[in-house]
Amino acid sequence: QVQLVESGGGLVQAGGSVRLSCAVSGRDVSSYTMGWFRQAPGKERVFVGHITADVTWRRGTTYYVDSVKGRFTISRDNAKNMVYLQMNSLKVEDTAVYYCATTNSRNEYAYWGQGTQVTVSS
């Protein structure tokens, strides 16, 4: 029922920018935490950042790991049911397959997209 599809990856020069999209079906993106992960060649999948659900008393908030803080921005378009990962000032070490994911009722990441490749060239 819940499906996530990433798009927007490709080849980009170091210092450049890429905007990844995650189209979500089966649930509202505003109602659950939406996370971004990445997996570099030969490495394990790691967490990049997330945007939390909108609730009555607050808007969802973002969090990023230190390695991308200040360069990456997660946003959400509730009307389109889309989540985005804007990546600026890209570095070669950002090269990875990027995945969007969302949580279940236990706040565990349970639903994953197929991934989209981002390759940063020097």
Average pLDDT of the chain is 96
Kindly tell me if the per-residue pLDDT of 25 is higher than 90. yes
Q: Return the structure tokens found at 119.
A: 């390759």
Q: Return the structure tokens found at 57.
A: 């008393």
What pLDDT shows up at residue 58? 87
C-alpha Rg value of the chain to the nearest Å: 14
- How many percent of the chain have pLDDT more than 70? 100
Q: Residue 57: which pLDDT band, with cuts at 50, 70 and 90?
A: confident
